[in-house]
Amino acid sequence: MSEVISKLKGTAEAVQKKILSYQKPSLSFPIRALSNVKYSPKVGFLEIGRKRKIRTLTVNTVKSFAQTLRMMVLSKNIIETNDMATKREAYYVSKNWEEARFDDQVESDAVIEDLEAHFGLNREKLGFVPEEKGGEVSGKLIVVDKDRQTGRVQKIDCTKFGSGAYSIPISVEHLKFETNAKFILVIETAGMFQRLVNHGFWKSAGCILVSMGGVPTRACRRFIRILADAKKIPVYVFVDGDPYGISNIYRTLKAGSGNSAHLNEFFCVPQARFLGITPQDIVQYNLPTHPLKDVDVKRAEDALKNDPFFQYHQQWKDAVRQLIRMGVRAEQQALAKHGLNYVIDHYLPEKLRRPHLFLP
């Protein structure tokens, strides 16, 4: 963490130096907006562009300038005491900053996001963590954590949770891993995850199961990313066969999201591949479907028209077009038509024999 502290100090000292030489100090931040985003297939995520805004200390900016500096102090204190603060807590801490207090959490959130863009660090590294948790793990993985009070290493064996699971903490930067798993299977719904856990699917498949419970939280995305990077294991994603599963859940996990492009570098999982449910699965496995709603069609057409990720991948363009043409969607539970455990006995093993056919 000393690397972060020295970055904080570097910026603070530059401000101080300017002031001591009677000049106006300034801070610069990359512009966080869709207009300043590009998709780099080579790096694999939506990247922030080069446009920056400069905040110079003037009569008009004095309050926000002071707030930014105080937030840097808070960050330094948090890191030095090995603590953390949610964005909401950071807002309330400011209530003791007198004139520099924030009137609304939207303002303090923006300052935190400015700081993470300025330093090129995800805010967890600055000690600011999200409000929400999410993401459960079961299978061939030992998570190496440590007790914050004693500093003693704790090894958490994710094969030993019975029908329960390991719940990913809000911040995962400090975690290490031991595993000999062949892949990570990331699952959209808690119900499907529970089925695979109860039937010990990770034993027969030699894998790690991760439940996202819908759109994955930051901690869940980051966890998958650092685990896959550290252990060089592939990531297969199993979601509903609908525009939401494809474009919101999968695309967000793999390539990040448009309006936080300065973070995608840390939160995307470029090694992710799409196991299913594909539009072709709907045909091949004769799955029960629901008609696409207007909002589904709009989402799919938006992806084709505006989303650089889909525009880059011809296979995805074809798949999304096929889904629109078929006019239907299928949930991962639809496989239950052929029996509750058809997914375990047939679908997943068949798919996993040919990972090279997974959509990119």
Q: Which residues are identified as catalytic?
A: 92
Minimum gap (Å) between residue 144 Cβ and its own copies: 8
Quick one: 6 exposed, middle or buried, by C-beta within 10 A (0-12, 13-18, 19+)? exposed
Q: Are 235 and 269 in contact (CB under 8 A)?
A: yes
Beta partners for residue 28, in sequence order: 54
- Minimum CB separation of residue 25 from its own copies in Å reads 28
CA–CA separation, 198 vs 187, rounded Å?
14
- Give me the residues paired with residue 11 across strands: none
Query: In whole angstroms, how close is the CB of 351 to its own copies at the nearest point?
Result: 18
Assess 154 for contact with its own copies (CB under 8 A): yes
Output the smallest distance, CB 89 to its own copies, in A: 4
Question: Under 8 Å CB-to-CB from 127, ≥6 apart: which residues?
Answer: 74, 75, 78, 79, 83, 84, 85
Among 190, 304, 326, 352, binds its own copies (CB under 8 A): 190
Among 48, 72, 78, 263, binds its own copies (CB under 8 A): 78
Find the angle CA(223)-CA(229)-CA(232) to the nearest 5 degrees. 125
User: Binders of its own copies among 81-110, rule CB under 8 A?
Assistant: 83-86, 88-93, 95-96
- Is 293 a binder of its own copies (CB under 8 A)? no
SS3 59: coil
275 interacts with its own copies by CB under 8 A: no
Which tokens sit at 135?
Answer: 């993401």
The binder of its own copies chosen from 62, 340, 345, 349 (CB under 8 A): 340
Q: Choose, by CB under 8 A, the member of 99, 162, 305, 354 that binds its own copies.
A: 162
CA–CA dist 22, 14 (Å, integer): 13
Asked if residue 69 lies in contact with residue 99, where contact means CB atoms within 8 angstroms, the answer is no
Cα distance from N-terminal residue to C-terminal residue, the chain: 35
- Choose, by CB under 8 A, the member of 12, 26, 341, 346 that binds its own copies: 341
User: Does the footprint of its own copies cover residue 317 (CB under 8 A)?
Assistant: no
Candidates 235, 348, 344, 340; CA nearest to 281 is 348
203 binds its own copies (CB under 8 A): yes
The yes or no reply on residue 360 touching its own copies (CB under 8 A) is no
Kindly state whether residue 191 participates in binding its own copies, applying the rule CB under 8 A.
yes
- Sign of the CA dihedral 312, 313, 316, 317? positive
From the CB of 334, what's the least distance to its own copies, in Å? 5
The least distance separating its own copies from the CB of residue 318, rounded to whole angstroms, comes to 27
Q: CB of 235 within 8 A of CB of 220?
A: no
Instruction: Give the contact letters, 119-138, x = binds to its own copies (CB under 8 A), - = no.
Output: ----------xxxxxx-x--
Residue of the chain from 59, 163, 305, 354 that contacts its own copies (CB under 8 A): 163
Closest CB to its own copies among residues 24, 95: 95
Residues that bind its own copies (rule: CB under 8 A) add up to a total of 65
Residues in the chain: 360
Interface residues with its own copies (CB under 8 A) are 78, 83-86, 88-93, 95-96, 129-134, 136, 143, 145-149, 154, 156, 160-171, 174, 189-191, 193-195, 197-200, 203, 211, 213, 288, 331, 333-341
